[in-house]
Amino acid sequence: MAAACSLVSEDQFLCSICLDVFTDPVTIPCGHNFCKNCITQHWTVNVQNKCPMCADVFDRRPELRVNTFISVMADQFRQSAVQEASSSSEQQAAKTAEVLCDVCTDTRLKAVKSCLVCLTSYCETHLEPHHRVPGLKRHQLMGPVKNLEDRLCKKHDRPLELFCQTDQVCVCQFCTESDHKRHATIPLIKEYQRQKAELQKTEAGIQQMIEERRLKMDQIRESVKLSKEEADRETAASVQVFTALIQSVERGLAQLTHMIEEKQKSIEEQAEGFIKELEEEICELMKRSSEVEQLSHTEDQLLFLQSFLSLNAAPPTKDWTEVRVHSSYEGTVRRAVAQLEETLSEQIKKLCAEVELKRVQQFAVDVTLDPDTASPYLTLSEDGKQVQCGEIQQPVPDNPKRFSVCNGVLGKQTFSSGRFYFEVQVRGKTEWDLGVVRESISRRGKIRLSPNNGFWTIWLRNGNQYKALAGPGILLSLRSQPEKVGVFVDHEEGLVSFYDVDAAALIYSFVGCNFTESLCPYFSPCCDNGGINTAPMILLHPRHTN
């Protein structure tokens, strides 16, 4: 196995998420391998079940099982790496801590043993008497070490061969008969082995903590990345909304200015007409005044009387007493601002609804229908995207997951965390139910749709009666009849919202929901009502909005 490990590179045993040797390696459907904990955490942070390597998206989260072959290979590789590191470390330590013979005089040779009785280290040659002389044979020998005096009991000058568990100190044999009498003592090597095992556990625990913190760092970085993306989207949406509002204000100002200018123009034209009439009357009056003055200077009585009788009658004149040029603009600005406020209010609602809908559409998922849950009266399309109800019961296998009386069907996909969104076309239908449900809901007999029973749904009845089934139901007043309905769920916020997609309007929201288990999309095309309600409910493909 070691030879096999040597034939492959280190990169082949590294998880692309944690960049360390595989721990409990699993293989996902696209063929790539990851640590089980790494890919689980990755899919927990990300809404989509997507491969981090090739970006393949899976309809449902794959079942993860440890790949035993890769696991064994990774363990062998890890052990080989540890052994190589240990060997290198030991060689380096031996090189730096080389012990020399204390007896050699000229060229000191490398010591092969140290004597705890003689407190001397010997090379192979000078060690020979300890193998031959009977008295020296009884001396305790050990591998060559420096500072031999530190290995002797300060009180008894005997080797420290035992460990006192009571006082947690190293002792000699004589110590167990005096100061450490009746204490729990064990051979030094056993305590060494026990504490070394504890140290290895500690090291393993530290490595685990390091891995957990690396994973947490990755999660935090991913959260910051997602937050930055959401901040960018919100900034773009804010610019869009406020730009539209500024343009609306500018249009309102332009309209008000134009209206005032037109009104002033009308007043000026009216005044010019009055002035022209007055000028004409003045001209006629001045002519008559001249004739009257000329006649008044005539002394000839006969001529005066004849001329007076022939004097033209006074020209017709207009009574100008009540004529006024009215130029009041009182209330113009107030009325314009009030109208602008109303327009802006409508625009704000519309723009905010459009922005909100685009935001939730970021979490669009591809939902398909689960035929194992469909009522016997329902017919599903082959691609699992359409469902409609008929009058004839379909020959379907008995299944505990199947709705028996309620004409319902669930989506194949389940969601246990994060946020998700899907859209359904309900055009041409007079009745339907739509929403999300707990995976464990009752599917037998008659069912009351309410949050207490695990249903967060809305419905349509009689073609125009909409209701949120909040237990009790809440009648909804909609400006238009939705042809496409969007459903958005946020597990962490406990939120289920319904949108009229075409109108970009919020229909209703369930808030403060407590989701204790996985959720499934729920659909019911209801009965066909004698052919009136035969149009299918159609699950639309995701539209990811930038």
Residues 481-538 pLDDT 10s: 999 999 999 999 999 999 999 999 999 999 999 999 999 999 999 988 878 899 999 9
Write out the DSSP string of 429-479. -S-EEEEEEETT---SS----SGGGTEEEEEEETTTEEEE-SSS-EEE--S
**Which one of 92, 108, 124 terminates a domain?**
92
Do the domain assignments include residue 37? yes
* CA 384/CA 182 separation, integer angstroms: 80
The pTM assigned to this predicted structure is: 0.48
Do the domain assignments include residue 223? no
Please state the domain count of the chain. 2
pLDDT of residue 544: 46
Do the domain assignments include residue 23? yes
pLDDT of residue 236: 85
* Six-digit token string for 156: 């008894």
Confidence of residue 546 (pLDDT cuts 50, 70, 90): very low
Instruction: Kindly report the number of other CB atoms within 10 A of residue 482's CB atom.
Output: 23
Q: What is the mean pLDDT of residues 122-151?
A: 87
Which CATH number does the domain housing residue 20 bear? 3.30.40.10
**Which one of 39, 65, 92 terminates a domain?**
92
* % of the chain at pLDDT higher than 70: 94
Look-up of token digits 């919202």: 497
- In this structure, the dihedral spanned by the alpha carbons of residues 234, 235, 238 and 244, taken in order and rounded to 10 degrees, is -130
pLDDT at residue 281 is higher than 80: yes
On the 0-12 / 13-18 / 19+ scale of CB atoms within 10 A, 359 is: middle
Do the domain assignments include residue 284? no
How far apart, in Å, are the Cα atoms of 68 and each of 17, 42, 244?
Answer: 20, 22, 60
* CA 269/CA 276 separation, integer angstroms: 11
* CA 435/CA 7 separation, integer angstroms: 55
* Six-digit token string for 342: 């109303």
Strand partners, 435: 457, 522
Please tell me whether the peptide bond between 472 and the residue prior to it is cis, using omega within 30 degrees of 0: yes
Angle at 167 between CA 161 and CA 168, to 5 degrees: 60
Q: Of 112, 142, 140, 107, which Cα lies nearest the Cα of 125?
A: 112
* CA 486/CA 419 separation, integer angstroms: 13
pLDDT at residue 40 is higher than 60: yes
Do the domain assignments include residue 160? no
pLDDT at residue 545 is higher than 60: no
Do the domain assignments include residue 27? yes
Q: What is the mean pLDDT of residues 405-426?
A: 94
pLDDT of residue 220: 92
pLDDT at residue 435 is higher than 90: yes
Which CATH number does the domain housing residue 531 bear? 2.60.120.920
* Six-digit token string for 149: 């005096």
Let me know: does 276 contact 331? Beta carbons within 8 Å: no
Q: What is the mean pLDDT of residues 236-252?
A: 84
* CA 463/CA 383 separation, integer angstroms: 28
Confidence of residue 396 (pLDDT cuts 50, 70, 90): confident
Contacts of 508 (CB under 8 A, 6+ apart): 458, 468, 474, 476, 497, 498
Its domain, for residue 38, covers 2-92
Backbone phi and psi for residue 420, each to the nearest 5 degrees, phi listed first: -150, 160
What are the pLDDT digits (tens) for 174-186? 898 888 988 999 9
Query: What is the overall mean pLDDT for the chain?
Result: 86
* CA 412/CA 367 separation, integer angstroms: 7
pLDDT of residue 342: 82
pLDDT of residue 20: 82
Strand partners, 460: 432, 466
Q: What is the mean pLDDT of residues 281-290?
A: 86
Confidence of residue 149 (pLDDT cuts 50, 70, 90): confident
Least-confidence region, from 21-30, 93-102, 138-147, 265-274: 93-102
On the 0-12 / 13-18 / 19+ scale of CB atoms within 10 A, 403 is: buried
pLDDT at residue 321 is higher than 60: yes
* CA 422/CA 509 separation, integer angstroms: 15
8-state DSSP, 522:
E
pLDDT of residue 330: 74
Which carries the bigger pLDDT value, residue 43 or residue 213? 213
pLDDT at residue 89 is higher than 70: no
pLDDT of residue 4: 46
Write out the DSSP string of 268-288. HHHHHHHHHHHHHHHHHHHHH
**Which one of 76, 92, 108 terminates a domain?**
92
pLDDT of residue 341: 82
Do the domain assignments include residue 499? yes
pLDDT at residue 284 is higher than 90: no
pLDDT at residue 95 is higher than 60: no
Confidence of residue 468 (pLDDT cuts 50, 70, 90): very high
Do the domain assignments include residue 81? yes
Q: What is the mean pLDDT of residues 78-107?
A: 71
Backbone phi and psi for residue 459, each to the nearest 5 degrees, phi listed first: -145, 165
